[in-house]
Amino acid sequence: MTHERINYLDWLKVLIVYGIVLFHVALVFKYGAWLVANNEHSLILTAFVGFTFPWGIPAMFLIAGADAWFGLRSRAVSDFIRKRFLRLLVPMVAGLFLLSPLQRFITSHNPPPPIDGLWAYYIRFFHEFHFDWTLQFVSRYWLHLWFLGYLFAISLACLPLLLWLRGSSGRHLTSWLVAIASRRGGLMQLAAPLVLSQLVLRPRFPAYQDWADVATYTLVFLWGAIIFSDRRFEAAIRQQIRWHLAGGVLAMLGLGVLIYMSPSWVAGDPRAPAVTQAVRAVLWSLYIWSWLHVVLYLGLRWLNFPSRFQRYAQESVLAVYVISHPVLLLIASFVVTWNLGLWPKFLVILVTVAGLTFVIYEFGVRRWPVTRLVFGLYALPVAQPKPHETVHLPAPTA
């Protein structure tokens, strides 16, 4: 147990979320359809998307698991739930009314339809809104904000286990896991629950954000809490980096072979042979597990230092995630129609989206109590007088 600040964890949180912005921009230029798509596609950006897609979102859940662990260290359970509600569900509900219809309106035509049709589109969006018992319901109406809903649900579902881990039995389990992790290749052995979950669920629920993905997000969330509950795991990550690099590369090559044999098999085609589905599930699990630990190693190796930018950026991550997506859709829907080359378009979109996102965050969100609440930021601290300052009180009246 430690109460010192883990700087590389803060850095990873910032870089992963900011990296999601780059990922979303790359989606505009990848082969295959997205919400906004350029006519010309890039093999390089498609490869970047393919490389980061399996482990990028799990990395956010891994960091969120660590946040949950540290949050429970300093808060009562009721306060933890309240903070999670304010930080996740409030922005999600606000996003449904403020951002979801706007994003669907933007992507309904390239370039977007005339602005005078926006209000009618808003009315139609909520008139056609209907609930169904599928996980895809969340992303259908909330688009990128599905992450907030999933994280809130997983945080509550895992809360009893997180509390148990803080007790004596949980600490014994953590020590046992540290002992396994410290063996040669031990961290790879601890991928077994993830592999098993994917063997069972991936063939039956292959779609993105379906139950196989929920199992992945839940397990890496818990692993994020466990791995940051005991700093001894860091030594194992440092010592076994070659195992994870090898595992990540081999899993990537194996998935590449499956793509060469039949792209639909990697996409979860139920007609694929059972052996192929099992191999895909194992390779997918090892791919995620290996690259997550490579990312943790890079943080340990290169990012374990504080900075002023880190403190500013850390507060911005949720707002940047929420704001950047609709800004990207708006900018990209116009830029893709321009008579420019692919890479100039990519740079224009990336720079413009990043610039506008931070301008909106700094001047439209960060400085105002109401917008801070809507975007899940904590309240501004009350300014306290400095020790050398004199506070003048009004003279008492007679």
Spell out the domain ranges in the chain: 7-374
Task: Evaluate whether 198 touches 215 at the Cβ level (below 8 Å).
Answer: yes
**Residues in the chain with pLDDT values less than 50:** 1-2, 390-391, 393, 396-398
Tokens of 338: 């321009």
Q: What is the pLDDT, as a whole number, of residue 397?
A: 47
What's the rounded Cα separation, in Å, for the pair 209 and 153? 13
pTM: 0.92
Q: What is the DSSP letter of 144?
A: G
Q: What is the pLDDT, as a whole number, of residue 1?
A: 46
Q: What is the pLDDT, as a whole number, of residue 329?
A: 97
Task: Evaluate whether 202 touches 268 at the Cβ level (below 8 Å).
Answer: yes
Q: What is the pLDDT, as a whole number, of residue 13?
A: 95
What distance separates the 2 farthest-apart alpha carbons in the chain? 92
Candidates 15, 48, 20; CA nearest to 307 is 15
Q: What is the pLDDT, as a whole number, of residue 285?
A: 97
Candidates 388, 367, 390, 389; CA nearest to 379 is 367
Q: What is the pLDDT, as a whole number, of residue 351?
A: 98
CA distances from 207 to 151, 203, 285, 349 (A): 18, 10, 15, 29
What's the rounded Cα separation, in Å, for the pair 49 and 286? 18
Q: What is the pLDDT, as a whole number, of residue 149?
A: 95
Q: What is the DSSP letter of 4?
A: S
Q: What is the pLDDT, as a whole number, of residue 66?
A: 96
Q: What is the pLDDT, as a whole number, of residue 271?
A: 75
Q: What is the pLDDT, as a whole number, of residue 33?
A: 87
CA distances from 237 to 193, 233, 388 (A): 18, 6, 47
What's the rounded Cα separation, in Å, for the pair 70 and 166? 11
What's the rounded Cα separation, in Å, for the pair 13 and 278? 32
What's the rounded Cα separation, in Å, for the pair 379 and 372? 7
